[in-house]
Amino acid sequence: MNEFDFETLYAIGLNHGMASQWFTQAEAQTSSLMRVTEVQRDWLQVHDGHVEHAARVMPALVAQLHNAGSGLAVGDWVGVKAHAHEEWWVHSQLTPQSHLARRANDGRRQPLASNVDTAFLVMGLDHDFNLRRLERYLALVQAAGVMGVVVLTKADIGHDVDARMAELHERLPRNVPAYAVNALAPETLAELVPWLGRGQTLVLLGSSGVGKSTLTNTLSNSIAQQTGGLRKGDGRGRHTTTARSLHFCPAGACIIDTPGLRTWRPDADVDSLAATFDDIEALAQFCHFRDCQHGDEPGCAVRGVVPADRLLNYQKLLREVRRSQQTPLERKAQLAKWKVIGKAGKQRNQEKRRGNL
């Protein structure tokens, strides 16, 4: 049996639940447990608690994950063996306790990060400020069982910082922590230290140029991530991060930096997503109709109480979740249905025009 040092692996995010799962695997007798710290197209970086190793994934595991509609992500715990010439190969994956992913246009799941405790939802207090997008990100991380913490960067150069913070607190649930920080300032580490404890794993999510890499460098007290200057014209940061990677913070936490998210299509079910809008779900119980869509139905207890923009955001997310859960045949049938409806509407309009001639 390979040597197993819980304390060493705990320092890079292992917990007792994942350790127990590892000892139920047959691989535990012949493999070493390591954590994925970077994912590239043909290889991975894995960490054993002491040093990193470059590794490749066994074709059998690639096929298994592909058939399950998934893949390895930064933060995964994997079983690794050294083959001939000291080449490291990943043979198995432990089932993640939490997993963040998004859906591609073709319905495939694109992994973002695994075994995450906290998600820092990073947004700039400049032209990037968008409460609807922030609310969307918060709903999706909570649906995955991950705690969301809002981190608004560029507090030193942002616009209407106090007004925007007040707007944020009015829009989001009060139990969601929110901070306005200067990602370059050393004090930021002290402000966010409650989320940086030893053994904790957090991921930074946000669009390009909001300062995720700068924040990673500040929290990890390093210059591990390349950063870019501000663009002329709109003052936004330049896109620099091209791959997800895991870094270590002096306070003990593991930090996963990610490339900017242009869009994030939901990878969640309807029930878990609805639970993140608990204010809407609570009010919906008092609607006159059980299947109320909170549109123009009489006796709706939600419409007029919940801000209209929040309600629209919720309804849009639900539509996207239902669409992502459809099989190819169901999507094809729905497309055919709307084609028939569109054709019928066009025909009625033509008949009306003829009647007016």
CATH number assigned to the domain comprising residue 218: 3.40.50.300
For residue 192, the model assigns a pLDDT of 92
Q: Which is higher by pLDDT, 276 or 19?
A: 19
Which of 257, 292, 312 finishes a domain?
Answer: 257
Does the pLDDT of residue 293 top 80, yes or no? yes
For residue 1, being part of any structural domain is answered with no
For residue 271, being part of any structural domain is answered with no
Q: Which residues contact 227 (CB under 8 A, 6 or more apart)?
A: 213, 214, 217, 237, 240
For residue 208, the model assigns a pLDDT of 79
Span 252-271, mean pLDDT?
A: 79
Which of 215, 240, 257 finishes a domain?
Answer: 257
For residue 74, the model assigns a pLDDT of 95
Give the span between the Cα atoms of 116 and 96, in whole angstroms: 9
Q: Which residues contact 50 (CB under 8 A, 6 or more apart)?
A: 8
Largest CA distance in the chain: 88
Residue 296 lies in domain: 282-324
For residue 287, being part of any structural domain is answered with yes
Span 16-33, mean pLDDT?
A: 92
Residue in 273, 229, 277, 264 with CA at minimum distance from that of residue 130: 264
Which range, 9-18, 171-180, 211-220, 341-350, has the best average confidence (pLDDT)?
A: 9-18
Mean pLDDT of the chain: 84
Q: pLDDT-derived band of residue 310, with 50, 70 and 90 as boundaries?
A: confident
331 and 320, same structural domain? Answer: no
For residue 221, the model assigns a pLDDT of 79
The enclosing domain of 44 has a CATH number of 2.40.50.140
158 and 69, same structural domain? Answer: no
Does the pLDDT of residue 171 top 80, yes or no? yes
For residue 263, being part of any structural domain is answered with no
331 and 319, same structural domain? Answer: no
Q: Which is higher by pLDDT, 42 or 334?
A: 42
Does the pLDDT of residue 252 top 80, yes or no? yes
Q: Which is higher by pLDDT, 23 or 351?
A: 23
Tokens of 344: 């019928």
For residue 253, the model assigns a pLDDT of 93
245 and 141, same structural domain? Answer: yes
For residue 254, the model assigns a pLDDT of 93
70 and 208, same structural domain? Answer: no
Span 263-282, mean pLDDT?
A: 77
For residue 226, the model assigns a pLDDT of 46
Predicted model pTM: 0.79
198 and 156, same structural domain? Answer: yes
Does the pLDDT of residue 275 top 90, yes or no? no
Reduced to 3 states, what is the DSSP secondary structure of residue 208? coil
213-217: which pairs have CB atoms within 8 A and are 24 or more residues apart? 213/240, 213/241, 213/257, 214/153, 214/183, 214/184, 215/120, 215/122, 215/151, 215/153, 215/181, 215/183, 215/188, 216/247, 216/255, 216/257
Span 163-184, mean pLDDT?
A: 89
For residue 79, the model assigns a pLDDT of 95
Span 22-32, mean pLDDT?
A: 90
Q: Which residues contact 156 (CB under 8 A, 6 or more apart)?
A: 182, 184, 185
249 and 157, same structural domain? Answer: yes
Q: pLDDT-derived band of residue 241, with 50, 70 and 90 as boundaries?
A: very low
Q: Which residues contact 209 (CB under 8 A, 6 or more apart)?
A: 124, 128, 228, 231, 236, 237, 238, 239, 260
239 and 122, same structural domain? Answer: yes
Q: pLDDT-derived band of residue 42, with 50, 70 and 90 as boundaries?
A: confident
For residue 331, the model assigns a pLDDT of 65
Give CA separation, 157 vs 154, 161, 180, 184, 208, in Å: 5, 9, 11, 12, 17
Span 124-153, mean pLDDT?
A: 88
67 and 188, same structural domain? Answer: no
Question: What sign results for the dihedral spanned by CA atoms 172, 129, 162, 229?
Answer: positive
Give the span between the Cα atoms of 257 and 285, in whole angstroms: 40
Which of 72, 96, 120 finishes a domain?
Answer: 96
Q: pLDDT-derived band of residue 111, with 50, 70 and 90 as boundaries?
A: confident
Each residue's pLDDT tens digit, 221-235: 765 544 444 444 444
127 and 86, same structural domain? Answer: no
For residue 131, being part of any structural domain is answered with yes
Residue in 135, 132, 136, 112 with CA at minimum distance from that of residue 202: 112
For residue 10, being part of any structural domain is answered with yes
Give the span between the Cα atoms of 263 and 153, in whole angstroms: 20
Question: How many domains does the structure of the chain reveal?
Answer: 4
For residue 268, being part of any structural domain is answered with no
211 and 121, same structural domain? Answer: yes
Does the pLDDT of residue 120 top 90, yes or no? yes
73 and 116, same structural domain? Answer: no
For residue 55, the model assigns a pLDDT of 95
For residue 256, the model assigns a pLDDT of 92
For residue 232, the model assigns a pLDDT of 42
For residue 28, being part of any structural domain is answered with yes
